Structure 1
Amino acid sequence: MTVLKTERLSLSELTGEEAGFVFRLMNSKGWLQYIGDRGIRTIEDARQYILNNTMKSYTEHGYGMYLVRTEQDQVPIGMCGLVRRNFLEYTDIGFAFLPEYNGKGYAFESASAVLQYARESLGMKKIIAIVNHDNQPSIRLIEKLGMQFEKTVPFPGEDTQIFQFSTAD
């Protein structure tokens, strides 16, 4: 189901059919370096991740991470959406793209659309973004979206601190 469209992109709910793409994305160098290893070793692992996390979020919260495709040829290039984490006070926006699609403005375009959707359709006043402190490209993007650094927070289960940015209340 298509949730959002932009000039160049369409964002839709993930289904088990995209497991091969999710497997590839979640094992890409950037994902592993900046987001972390989620233990996705097979396409079936990716399918289970989609079913038990992403699709569950759609049901429980009415939103989640969305598959980002190019509008012109419908090629899957990344994910962007909203995540409700129990260790954070607010919903956060997230994004990840295959390496060959970085630097083309797709993350900004999709994240801008997701922020607008969160405010206008979901009624969210404050949205946060969490990011690894050394992920400078994502930090620049988050700042370009108009979000401001708020604080450093621990990431559960990992011996690391992450930066938290937020929109204005």
Structure 2
Amino acid sequence: MRALSVPLLEIETARLRLRPLQEHDDAFILELLNEPAFIANIGDKDVHDLAGARNYIEKGPQASYRQHGHGLLLVELQDDSSPVGICGLVKRDSLPHPDIGYAFLQRHWGQGYACEAGAACLEHASARLSIDYVVGITSPHNLGSIRVLEKLGLQYDRTLELPGINGPSLYYIPAKTSAEKE
């Protein structure tokens, strides 16, 4: 297991700031994880109150920071620090490589935030964490997420079943690697 070797830093883009999730982000996490689109596309995380949101932050992203040196980060607007989503690397026991994960409040869809945050996370993974191979997973019906993965330079590789996820998942790999495989 990779221990935290590089301190988690804030990542800034032209419009966004990505930072580690903290306990005081509980109200935002409660809202995000209970949006109908989140539940339909990612799943019900069984977070129904602020205590559940704090537990999710502690046992999910913060545990990942400690264990892997990376995890989902809060994405907020630079101009007013309002949270719009989460984005970062997720290391699943069932996959050999970390995947890029993201979710944004539906009212912020269509503004390019997922692509902007995702690209910043991939750059950070390569430059600061020496992680050059990041995959993507999404449900077959999540067309918006498929477009984000493709814009981030990933391409469809195969469909697979993952533990804890109901139904099939589409598995995306870096596009340059697909050509090298043949």
TM class, shorter-length: over 0.9
Q: Distance in 1 between matches of 2:18 and 2:166?
A: 33
1:125 shift after superposition: 2.0
Give the drift of 1:157.
3.4
Q: Is the 8 A contact 1:6 1:113 kept in 2?
A: yes
Residue pairs, 1:1-169, within 5 angstroms: 2-167=9-174, 168-169=176-177
Letter in 2 for 1:127: V
Structure 1: distance between partners of 2:50 and 2:163: 26
The CA distance in 2 between the partners of 1:52 and 1:141, in whole Å, is 27
Q: What's the offset of the Cα at 1:159?
A: 4.2
5+ residue gaps, structure 2, are 1-7, 178-182
The structural deviation recorded for 1:52 is 1.1
Q: Whole-Å Cα distance in 1 between the matches of residues 137 and 50 of structure 2? A: 27
Structure 2 CA distance for aligned equivalents of residues 22 and 141 of structure 1: 21
Indicate the RMSD between aligned Cα atoms, in angstroms: 1.1
TM-score of the pair, normalised by structure 1: 0.96
Are the counterparts in 1 of residues 43 and 165 from structure 2 also a CA contact under 8 Å? no
Q: Which runs of 5+ in 1 are unaligned?
A: none
- After TM superposition, where is structure 1 displaced by more than 2 Å over at least 4 residues in a row? none
| Distance in 2 of aligned mates of 1:145 and 1:50 | 26
Q: CA deviation at 1:2?
A: 4.7
Alpha-carbon offset, residue 30 of structure 1: 1.3
- Distance in 1, Cα, partners of 2:149 & 2:165: 23
> How far 1:149 moved relative to its partner?
0.7
Distance, in Å, in 2 between the alignment partners of 1:59 and 1:162 is 27
- Would you say the 8 A contact 1:149–1:163 is kept in 2? yes
Shift in Å at residue 158 of structure 1? 4.1
Q: State, as a whole percentage, how many aligned pairs show the same letter.
A: 35
